[in-house]
Amino acid sequence: MSATRPTLPSTDLPDVAGHAVPLARALDWVGMEGIALPVRVSDGVGGQLQVAASIDLSVDLADPEARGIHMSRLYLQLQDSLARETITPAGLRHLLQESIASQSGLASRARLKIRYEALLQRRALESEYTGWKRYPVEIEATLDEGHLQLALSFSLEYSSTCPASAALSRQANAQRFSEDFAAARPLSVGVVHDWLASERGLAATPHAQRSRAQVRVELRTQFDELPLVALIDALETALATPVQTAVKRIDEQAFARLNAENLMFCEDAARRVASVLSKDSRIERYDATVSHFESLHPHDAVARVSGSNA
């Protein structure tokens, strides 16, 4: 028969938090990283979604004589706040205020990072098909002396067709046409149509590749919602060739047309992204990187652009 383990009253449990601090010093940030929690986010059409998130939360330890912060209070405050309401600028400010208050004078600043994948339903270009696309998102919020700094980062994928490769392909196609019809007189529309529709009518194709725009915006905080879906929609419209989900042949052909109408070097894509971000009144500052994952080269073509809005 095993012995029964004695249970100590809670008042007898040791607490070393009040012990003297060796090498006393204030600390910039103390907290937790990689907390797994569900969060509520806007779906962009008036509703909300619950998604799995990875969260970092920390406060400063302003008192050099304090052994440590009340970490469990931070966790419980975070869990309670994010379970109750959709993420908004006002809600993030309140959460950070409560995080500071939970430390009973030990902290004066707080910061938070929330990482998740937004899953948005997108319609095909021409057909009735729809499918889901994921967009990695990170929200950063810092409260320092009552001032809220808020940043939103996300990425989206699109297709880029090389303008130089397109020009070289057109030249190759024209040269083959000249070779095949050098002695043909007269030419009818039907003959040319049939030639263009045949394999002979395509001597070369331009190279294209999946590409990615990574965006970080520092937001003005007087707005009610985080403009994630609105910014994604605006950028995909500007880039014009967002990658597709479920498609029929009519959608694939429409996608090929869009690529032909929107030939882009990485420099062109960066300027398209900046043209959207620089005109948005909700954005104070932006940084964007576009990467074209080359099919011609074993390396990527990359362009970066940044700016501040008045």
Handedness of CA 225, 228, 231, 234 (dihedral sign): negative
pLDDT (tens digit per residue) in 89-104: 999 999 999 999 999 9
CB atoms within 10 A of CB 84: 9
Q: Which of 267, 217, 213, 214 is nearest to 241 (CA)?
A: 213
- The number of C-alpha atoms within 13 Å of 59 and in the hemisphere containing its C-beta is 29
Give 28-162+207-308's CATH code, choosing from 3.40.50.300, 3.90.550.10, 3.10.270.10, 3.30.390.50: 3.10.270.10
Give me the residue spans of the domains in the chain: 28-162+207-308, 164-196
Whole-angstrom distance, CA of residue 70 vs CA of residue 61 = 10
Q: Is the pLDDT of residue 8 over 60?
A: no
Q: What is the pLDDT of residue 14?
A: 64
pLDDT tens track for 189-243: 999 999 999 999 999 999 999 999 999 999 998 888 899 999 999 999 999 999 9
Count of all residues that appear for the chain in the document: 310
Distance CA(188)–CA(186), nearest Å, equals 7
Q: Given the structure tokens 């030990």, which residue do they identify?
A: 106
Q: What angle do CA 9, 15, 18 make, to 5 degrees?
A: 145
What's the pLDDT tens digit per position in 255-308?
999 999 999 999 999 999 999 999 999 999 999 999 999 999 999 999 999 999
pTM comes to: 0.89
DSSP string, 184-203: --SPPHHHHHHHHHSGGG-S
